[in-house]
Structure 1
Amino acid sequence: MIRSLRGRLLLALLATLVLAAALMGGITYRSVLSETEALFDYQLRQMALSLRDQGEVAPGDAGALADEQLDFVIQIWRMDGRVVYASRPHPELPARAQLGFADIQAGGQTWRTFGVATPLRVIQVAQPRAVRRTLAADAALRSVAPLAVLAPLLALAVGWLAALTLAPLRRLAAELRGRDAQSLAPLPEGPDGAHARLPDELVPLVQSLNGLLWRLGQALDAQRAFVADAAHELRSPLTALKLQLQLLQRARDDASRDAAVAGLSDGVARSAWLVEQLLALARSEPGAPALAMAPLDLAEVAREALAAATPLAVARGCTLDLQAEARVPLQGNAAALSALVRNLVDNALRHGPAGGEVRVQVVPLAEGGAQLRVDDAGPGIPPEQRAVAFDRFWRRDPGATEGSGLGLAIVKSVADRHGAQVALGDSPLGGLRVTVTFPP
């Protein structure tokens, strides 16, 4: 199968050209044959009618009509049947004429005859059918011959036109091949001096490519920003680990050594948590592989997430309260939704007061879908700062050591990939309420 678009176009055009030439040639051939037959019949009739009023055939005319090179045979009879004249003897032809046009079998061949009667005589002019067919075929072939000469020229013209028509596509491909990996500028869609206007059929393709290049640029920019932010955020805990290690090396007694080990352990834990959050955010970014969606129970996902957060709640002396229906069906990815709930609960525990309460509610919606609400008793987020609260590495208190600044960013990314909406509000417990609404 031909994979080249130019080859397919050429094959289609040439096949159409050949079919059109064959059809036109066949129609012209049949038309010329028919017209030639009509012309020969007209000659037979005119010759017979021209002799009906003559008394006798003059000797000079008789000699001319008896020429062996003449295809016609002329016979004249009196009304009583006696032969008046015959251009040359043809015993195969019948001795009695048929009036009008007729096809007669005689001498192993077919003759075309025309007979006319006058009050005194009967005249018949005959011509072999084979001779007529040969002459008609020659005339028809001569009329078709120009098509055979023009067909190769038309084929060359079709090839040239196909190449000319596909030239903008070749230029577009050449421009794309000439770009490096860093060139994400949009392709030209109209005249800009160096580029001619694109054909209408290529405009949607170029627009789609430009959209893809824009999305790729956005993804690369986000990736570069993510890497830069991650490097910046990792610098502080790694520096703290380095300092703790130096303190451990300089410790002169067991008490100092134990304190340094405890600080180092805390620093490793914070670094591990930050790396884990970075990996979770990378997995939930728009450019990450598509999530495998399946039917699940959002209430059960919340229960498992709260069970995983229990050690932190115990360490801070907080109470975890889950209010959920027996089953809240939803279509989603269990691992991603578990990360969403765990980050919300973790934020509530870390930023809420020690000994406070964290309340999680999972309710089905009447119109379908579900809603997840997480309330805490912490300081909350002022309304004017809620728009930037989902930015990566954003903290209400930049100097705080608790948290990574990625929790709400992960929640927003997971929610977006599930088509859910995240809203921040005031909690009845006095802190922040995060509401995640999942569509049906």
Structure 2
Amino acid sequence: MRGWLQPTLSRRLIGALMVAVLFFAVVVLAQDQLDIDEQIATNPGVRQTGLPLAAELDEVDDPVEAARMVDHLARVFNRQRQPSEVQTGRLLFQLYDRSGRLLYASADADPIARPGVGEQVLAGRNHWTWRHDGPRWSLRIAEPAISRGALFRFSCWELVKVMLPALPLMLLPIWLAVRTGMRPLRRFTRRIREMDAGQALAPLGMDLRYAELRPLGQAFDTLLLRLRERLQREQAFVHDAAHELRTPLAVIAAQAHVLAHAREPAARAEASAAMSSAIARSAHLAQQLLDLAALDGRASAPPDVVDLSILSAQLLAAQVGLARSRDIALSLEAPEKLPARLDRAAFQSILQNLLDNALRYVHEGARIEIELSPIASDGLRLVVADDGPGIDAQDHARIFDRFWRGSGHDQPGSGLGLAIVRQAATRLGGHVSVGTGLDGRGIRFELTVPASA
């Protein structure tokens, strides 16, 4: 029973057809009632019956013959009227001469008074009447009036008798069309169900035949391609992460062995320092992996109003000690206040990683300049530039890849910092570009976040 209550496209279309048929029936009934009302008001059945009789009476001069003619036709008409739900009474005929003398009446009733078409109560019942005053005779006919309810029921029944045989003929083509039209979709569903794990991300490449269904197949194939690419990136990411973590863990294991067996204080101190460095590198890599995973997630923190000038100054202040120890000139050029509504953590990740990279790779006595400025209509621009060794221009397209590290650098690193920068920029709805740094040397990173983002 529950299966029959499940919504299906076939039932929906058949239901829509039934509603359309019902609406059509209502319109037809309404139009039918309007036509009946108009006919009763202008050309009822008594008028159509009386007009030929009045024309024949105009040719008769004898009152007796005229009365006999009306009596004969009255008997004929009433004999032909079979009792039914609609026709429930006999026609009433009256014949008067021009002086107003009654010549014939088929039943006792008051005289029909109104000329032309009208309504009148005769013998205690409402009648539709028609009166024709000719040159010799006044012919008057009355028919028992039918109630509006009876007329409506009669119209409904007549409509049902016409539509009931036609309804299956309308439903059958609809059912066949839906059944054959859904066949490609059922085949598509069966193909998905039969896919094994190895083929789960391979595009189906099915032709769903109909123009309305083809976008579904194309969208599904596009989704499978994106999922396959994402899975491949995640597999490569896991592989590279395991590879990066293996080196510091191997160092930690080796130095732990040295610490356990070394007897000389110098050897123990050297092993302890190497172990601390490897632990710090592992912790830094783990934190970057967590940051990247958080930025890869769909959900983002709700934007709040942040004064970027103050936030940038705080981040630089935390690095002043390291910069002074290496005689690095660290400067910030920014407005006194620069409030913006954005993801605070994403902007902080960008500036922190760009600053860390610059401090790690520039030489002693180098310069690192940070510029923060508003751009058109509440957008913003962040520039981090240095005069360090820089990166070859041919490698600029790869520097944002995960775990990629340029050659010629002896500084330890994971190759995730710039990947985090690009992902955080995407989270902000902005873009990061790379170019030549200060005085034609080093490297320059520019983040632009338009107001629309």
TM-score normalised by L of structure 2: 0.76
Q: Tell which deviates more after alignment, 96-105 or 143-152.
A: 96-105
2:29 to 25, 50, 53: 25
Segments of 5+ residues of structure 2 without an aligned counterpart are 80-89
Counterpart amino acid of residue 31 in structure 1: D
User: Residues 20 and 369 of structure 1: is their aligned pair in 2 closer, same or farther, counting only changes over 3 Å?
Assistant: closer
Report the counterpart of residue 161 of structure 2 in structure 1.
Answer: 146
After the TM superposition, which residues 89-168 of structure 1 pair with which residues of structure 2 at under 5 Å, given as runs? 90-94=107-111, 100-101=116-117, 103-111=119-127, 112-118=129-135, 121-130=136-145, 143-150=158-165, 153=168, 156-157=171-172, 160=175, 163-164=178-179, 167=182
Report the counterpart of residue 333 of structure 2 in structure 1.
Answer: 324
Q: Deviation per CA, 1:148-175, whole angstroms, max 9, x where unpaired?
A: 5247537845872784497266665665
Deviation at 1:21, TM superposition (A): 0.8
Quote the Cα distance in structure 1 between the aligned partners of 2:426 and 2:289.
Answer: 18
Quote the Cα distance in structure 1 between the aligned partners of 2:380 and 2:114.
Answer: 101
Answer yes or no: is the 8 Å Cα contact 1:378–1:430 preserved in 2: yes
Report the counterpart of residue 272 of structure 1 in structure 2.
Answer: 283
Answer yes or no: is the 8 Å Cα contact 2:306–2:340 preserved in 1: yes
Answer yes or no: is the 8 Å Cα contact 1:33–1:140 preserved in 2: no
The percent identity for this pair of structures is: 31
Q: Does 1:53 align with 2:70?
A: no
Answer yes or no: is the 8 Å Cα contact 1:376–1:430 preserved in 2: yes
Answer yes or no: is the 8 Å Cα contact 2:383–2:446 preserved in 1: yes
Quote the Cα distance in structure 2 between the aligned partners of 1:239 and 1:13.
Answer: 73
Quote the Cα distance in structure 2 between the aligned partners of 1:41 and 1:284.
Answer: 88
Q: Deviation per CA, 1:305-328, whole angstroms, max 9, x where unpaired?
A: 2333345446x6343422323334
Answer yes or no: is the 8 Å Cα contact 2:432–2:447 preserved in 1: yes
Report the counterpart of residue 85 of structure 2 in structure 1.
Answer: none
Q: Tell which deviates more after alignment, 63-72 or 275-284.
A: 63-72
The SS at the match of 2:404 is: coil
Deviation at 1:292, TM superposition (A): 3.4
Counterpart amino acid of residue 365 in structure 2: G
Report the counterpart of residue 444 of structure 2 in structure 1.
Answer: 433
Answer yes or no: is the 8 Å Cα contact 2:386–2:437 preserved in 1: no
Report the counterpart of residue 184 of structure 1 in structure 2.
Answer: 201
Quote the Cα distance in structure 1 between the aligned partners of 2:137 and 2:25.
Answer: 48
1:244 to 242, 255, 261: 255
Quote the Cα distance in structure 2 between the aligned partners of 1:133 and 1:430.
Answer: 98
Counterpart amino acid of residue 221 in structure 1: Q
User: Residues 49 and 272 of structure 1: is their aligned pair in 2 closer, same or farther, counting only changes over 3 Å?
Assistant: same
User: Residues 10 and 376 of structure 1: is their aligned pair in 2 closer, same or farther, counting only changes over 3 Å?
Assistant: same
Deviation at 1:18, TM superposition (A): 1.0
Answer yes or no: is the 8 Å Cα contact 1:313–1:349 preserved in 2: yes
Q: Tell which deviates more after alignment, 34-43 or 252-261.
A: 34-43
Answer yes or no: is the 8 Å Cα contact 1:301–1:337 preserved in 2: no
Deviation at 1:381, TM superposition (A): 1.3
CA RMSD of aligned residues (A): 4.1
User: Residues 165 and 302 of structure 1: is their aligned pair in 2 closer, same or farther, counting only changes over 3 Å?
Assistant: farther
Counterpart amino acid of residue 426 in structure 1: G
Q: Does 1:359 align with 2:359?
A: no
User: Residues 199 and 430 of structure 1: is their aligned pair in 2 closer, same or farther, counting only changes over 3 Å?
Assistant: closer
Answer yes or no: is the 8 Å Cα contact 2:320–2:330 preserved in 1: no
The SS at the match of 1:388 is: coil
1:299 to 302, 309, 333: 309
The SS at the match of 2:405 is: coil
Answer yes or no: is the 8 Å Cα contact 1:48–1:114 preserved in 2: no
Quote the Cα distance in structure 1 between the aligned partners of 2:92 and 2:351.
Answer: 111
Answer yes or no: is the 8 Å Cα contact 2:32–2:155 preserved in 1: yes
Quote the Cα distance in structure 2 between the aligned partners of 1:24 and 1:243.
Answer: 94
Report the counterpart of residue 87 of structure 2 in structure 1.
Answer: none
Q: Deviation per CA, 1:47-98, whole angstroms, max 9, x where unpaired?
A: 2332332334399968845749544555555556666x5365x34243x987
Count of aligned positions: 425
Answer yes or no: is the 8 Å Cα contact 2:366–2:388 preserved in 1: no
Deviation at 1:425, TM superposition (A): 1.0
The SS at the match of 1:335 is: helix
Counterpart amino acid of residue 153 in structure 1: P
Q: Tell which deviates more after alignment, 131-140 or 145-154.
A: 131-140
After the TM superposition, which residues 320-399 of structure 1 pair with which residues of structure 2 at under 5 Å, given as runs? 320-325=329-334, 326-353=336-363, 355-365=364-374, 367=376, 369-397=379-407
Answer yes or no: is the 8 Å Cα contact 2:375–2:381 preserved in 1: no
Answer yes or no: is the 8 Å Cα contact 2:362–2:388 preserved in 1: yes
Answer yes or no: is the 8 Å Cα contact 2:436–2:444 preserved in 1: yes
Answer yes or no: is the 8 Å Cα contact 1:48–1:125 preserved in 2: no
After the TM superposition, which residues 224-239 of structure 1 pair with which residues of structure 2 at under 5 Å, given as runs? 224-239=235-250
Deviation at 1:101, TM superposition (A): 5.0
Q: Tell which deviates more after alignment, 207-216 or 238-247.
A: 207-216
User: Residues 213 and 129 of structure 1: is their aligned pair in 2 closer, same or farther, counting only changes over 3 Å?
Assistant: same
Counterpart amino acid of residue 371 in structure 2: V
Counterpart amino acid of residue 361 in structure 1: I
The SS at the match of 2:139 is: strand
Q: Tell which deviates more after alignment, 229-238 or 148-157.
A: 148-157
Answer yes or no: is the 8 Å Cα contact 2:354–2:384 preserved in 1: yes
Report the counterpart of residue 410 of structure 1 in structure 2.
Answer: 420
User: Residues 18 and 378 of structure 1: is their aligned pair in 2 closer, same or farther, counting only changes over 3 Å?
Assistant: same
Report the counterpart of residue 86 of structure 1 in structure 2.
Answer: 104
Counterpart amino acid of residue 18 in structure 1: L
Segments of 5+ residues of structure 1 without an aligned counterpart are none
Counterpart amino acid of residue 296 in structure 1: V
